[in-house]
Amino acid sequence: MSTLLISHPAFLAHDTGPHHPERPERLRAVMAALDDAAFAGLERMAAPTATLEQLMRVHPRNYVETILGIRPPDGERVMIDGDTVMSAGSAEAALRAAGAVVAGVDAVLEGRVASAFAAVRPPGHHATPDIPGGFCLFNNVAIGARHAQARYGVERVAILDFDVHHGQGTQAVVDPDATLFYGSTHQFPLYPGTGSAREHGIDGNVVNVPLGPDSGSAQFRAAWSERILPQLDRFAPDLLIVSAGFDGHKRDPLAQLELETEDFRWITDELLSLAARHARGRVVSALEGGYDLEALAEATAAHVGSLMRV
């Protein structure tokens, strides 16, 4: 079975302004990399907009309406916080970013494809149910997880986050709910300052492995092999959702985890084999961070290549 790539030109119209690291060129770099002949086997679809019902499985109605109500005139921008920006096109981009993950969940759970990659922006893992931030508006992966449970009756969903930042927004959703699992490696100290190894959720359904700057491949792989994957194995997920951030790459300007491109292929391979054991191979991945265009393109290609098993 094939892999589905979900994206949309509307993601380019989320204009964060000059000098912002989370910029439209990121998505252009990702899509250019996936235009290579090696990815001709990808199925492709345009990201739909998420529905209010889908968004409200994670975010309260007044939060959703507030975000969607921020529609500055063309060429103008609204600062949501110190580093989160909305332009005229941002509300639609945010709707389609969440909708892309939902569409990936649909495609995988209906058995149309084995796996899906949502090439989206804005990213989502820093958005808590009621606070946007860290470039994120809606929590795309949490919305996908809740959709799988509500629409398909999937019992246990795991969200695995190898972005260099801790997804405190996702953890806020998972923390009180033993049907969800959240595993994350992240550089510490670094924004947002959360993700202590002491945070265990309910019965270990949250596994955080903070890594110091300059940790590199060996410590990253050991964190997953020795800490997160064994706990994930015990959780026995029915579906895996990946917060695929590539800002742990050694070229990334926002962090210093010093990972290699091949580390992203490795972790994807590991997650796929765990998915094969527990979840009939079902994996839905969504783009989070990654701010060096060349590293982002290369690491995304490695990740999606692994999903396609090429």
Give the residues lining the site for Zn ion (CB under 5 A): 163, 165, 245, 247, 289
User: In angstroms, what CA-CA distances link 139 with 53, 80, 129, 222, 298?
Assistant: 14, 15, 8, 28, 25
In the complex with Zn ion, which residue's Cβ is closer, 3 or 187? 187
In the complex with Zn ion, which residue's Cβ is closer, 106 or 247? 247
In the complex with Zn ion, which residue's Cβ is closer, 201 or 289? 289
For the CB of residue 3, give the shortest distance to Zn ion in the complex, in Å: 23
In the complex with Zn ion, which residue's Cβ is closer, 17 or 253? 253
Q: Measured between alpha carbons, how far is 310 from 305 in angstroms, rounded to an integer?
A: 5
Q: Measured between alpha carbons, how far is 94 from 261 in angstroms, rounded to an integer?
A: 28
For the CB of residue 59, give the shortest distance to Zn ion in the complex, in Å: 20
Residue 53 neighbours by CB under 8 Å, 6+ apart: none
What residue has token string 């500055």?
Answer: 72
Q: Known catalytic residue: 126?
A: yes
Residues making up the chain, counted from first to last? 310
| Omega within 30 of 0 (cis) for the link into 189 | yes
For the CB of residue 260, give the shortest distance to Zn ion in the complex, in Å: 17
Residue 193 neighbours by CB under 8 Å, 6+ apart: none
In the complex with Zn ion, which residue's Cβ is closer, 165 or 278? 165
In the complex with Zn ion, which residue's Cβ is closer, 48 or 192? 192
- Identify the active-site residue in 126, 166, 186, 278: 126
For the CB of residue 20, give the shortest distance to Zn ion in the complex, in Å: 14
For the CB of residue 29, give the shortest distance to Zn ion in the complex, in Å: 16
Closest CB to Zn ion belongs to which residue? 289
Q: Measured between alpha carbons, how far is 204 from 38 in angstroms, rounded to an integer?
A: 39
For the CB of residue 65, give the shortest distance to Zn ion in the complex, in Å: 27
Which residues sit opposite 287 in a β-bridge?
A: 244
Catalytic positions are 126
